[in-house]
Structure 1
């Protein structure tokens, strides 16, 4: 079993990371510039070092084990941190090249996703030899990712008390939404304010893990959360069953659920508004590259 990470282990982990990212040995060959027998030997050696089976390979194709999934996620964090360390080190020498890790909250509005792509393109055009690692995380992971040093910037909403360890750059974009149900639900007829006879606590609702303002908007009538989803997309799927109420962004409903019978209910009493930010940890060095990226994000996010 591995007790201490050595330089040779880092090389083996990079091979595994490429194989897992490419979902197979053959697909990883051009990425690693290695032949399949050498890749297979490296994975076998890593499994021996870790005393774990990381993946199955055979007629059924490539498949990671549960242990392999954990190692893959931890490896991703390690290499993100390495890339960020090298990028920050270069910045101290006024060398603005390398990889920027940008983490996006899942369920971003299309307008903001487009702003991200334009800001990334603008940054890569302005600075030579800059590359972006763009990843998506669930809302309840955002604070940890921003603080851990795994990334340079996070684009997300944030509805909790803002910690002093994070820096928030407003993007001038908000996620507006309402309380939704399926047209088969008993409350579907109440597109305006609920009458006094309606007790929201009598109806099952689905909440979003970690996003308190998407679970409780109206203090007078709190939703009865019977189950939780990890994103707005999975919340939408639960609402479509007709068994749950749920707070959903209007943009998500309009872009993904047209004709599927979703109805906004409860009027403006259950309207929510989440502001989006570019977020970085206070220890992140905001060099000219990152500053430019944040300015461009702000600019393009506010364009019609």
Structure 2
């Protein structure tokens, strides 16, 4: 039986004119998780990679939840996804519910001499090739120190990572520095340098450096849909954008077509440069740095596993810099 069958095969009691839910079951919690993922992602399609299921399954889950609650939670159609007023109230109530559940699990974990439970981390894409492997080393040491803890690693957009940490679905996130949100604590990790790249057969690859600065604005460029730091944004605005990409892997795909010039993190481009598939546009002024940050939610209640991971990360970074 698949997940959808398991969810929809449950009886749907407790719906009527009286109290909508006589009790909260595992199915209700799963459906509420789906609802929160849809809201945080901004729609059904955007939630597909987060939930790992297709749009039709998500639509069915949402319909099941609305039936169980006896409420209309959202409007969906050509105008896009939009919560109803009832949906907004359910979302706020669900956020409080899962925070309470997390608090309960923390309390139970503290009873055990050996910490148990799960640690959910959210990372932006294309970080695995960073030479500074603080997160990787911290996860290795954390898993050795907390063998009974299950680690969930989610690859998401920076916006999804931030929202997941705010909602309590993620304990720790790693994102590029863009802005500071209320309710989050930020810890600096390292700097990431980005430069311009083209394929070896691109006109910029064989052009004398003296002519690069003048020729660059006329070349077709790929621009990111994700936010850049101010220095990167200022450089990107000078390029003639004829394509866009939602993440850095998408940037690489388009640059590797040979048609476009675009920015990539140096650590990400290095393997393709070594293979002779990419070359850097030799303009030192056309580079920028992005600060990478670890984030977690600001709250009075301690989270044992999150604090354990952050302490491990701090120790790893201290050893790496020594």
Please say if residues 125 and 247 of structure 2, whose CA atoms lie closer than 8 Å, have aligned partners that are also in contact: yes
Is it true that 1:136 corresponds to 2:155 in the alignment? yes
Partner in structure 2 of residue 293 of structure 1: 309
Is it true that 1:86 corresponds to 2:107 in the alignment? no
Partner in structure 2 of residue 168 of structure 1: 186
Structure 1: give runs of 5+ residues left out of the alignment.
18-62
d(CA) in 1 for partners of 2:130, 2:268: 11
| 1:139 CA displacement | 3.0
Pick the aligned partner of 1:231 from 235, 247, 260.
Answer: 247
Equivalences for residues 170-209 of structure 1 within 5 A: 170-171=188-189, 173-190=190-207, 192=209, 195=212, 197-200=214-217, 202-209=218-225
d(CA) in 2 for partners of 1:296, 1:268: 36
Q: Provide the secondary structure at the position in 2 that maps to 1:188.
A: helix
| 1:81 CA displacement | 9.3
Please say if residues 218 and 270 of structure 1, whose CA atoms lie closer than 8 Å, have aligned partners that are also in contact: no
Q: Provide the secondary structure at the position in 2 that maps to 1:303.
A: helix
Q: Return closer, same or farther for 1:185/1:153 CA change in 2, 3 Å cut-off.
A: same
Alignment root-mean-square deviation, CA: 4.1
- TM-score for the superposition, normalised by structure 2: 0.64
| 1:244 CA displacement | 0.9
d(CA) in 2 for partners of 1:113, 1:69: 38
Higher relative contact order, structure no. (Cα contacts within 8 Å, ≥ 6 residues apart): 1
Is it true that 1:252 corresponds to 2:268 in the alignment? yes
d(CA) in 1 for partners of 2:120, 2:282: 40
d(CA) in 1 for partners of 2:301, 2:161: 19
Please say if residues 177 and 250 of structure 1, whose CA atoms lie closer than 8 Å, have aligned partners that are also in contact: yes
d(CA) in 1 for partners of 2:255, 2:137: 33
1:30-53 superposed Cα distances (whole Å, 9 cap, x missing partner) = xxxxxxxxxxxxxxxxxxxxxxxx
Pick the aligned partner of 1:99 from 107, 118, 133.
Answer: 118
d(CA) in 1 for partners of 2:131, 2:139: 12
Total equivalences in the alignment: 254
Pick the aligned partner of 1:66 from 35, 55, 63.
Answer: 55
Partner in structure 1 of residue 68 of structure 2: none
Structure 2: give runs of 5+ residues left out of the alignment.
1-7, 35-51, 66-90
| 1:205 CA displacement | 1.3
d(CA) in 1 for partners of 2:131, 2:95: 23
Partner in structure 1 of residue 46 of structure 2: none
Please say if residues 91 and 287 of structure 1, whose CA atoms lie closer than 8 Å, have aligned partners that are also in contact: yes
Q: Return closer, same or farther for 1:101/1:233 CA change in 2, 3 Å cut-off.
A: same
- TM-score for the superposition, normalised by structure 1: 0.67
| 1:206 CA displacement | 1.1
Partner in structure 2 of residue 31 of structure 1: none
d(CA) in 1 for partners of 2:312, 2:208: 39
Q: Which region of structure 1 is more displaced relative to structure 2, 187-196 or 278-287?
A: 187-196
1:173-217 superposed Cα distances (whole Å, 9 cap, x missing partner) = 2211201111222212357575553251x2221122222339945
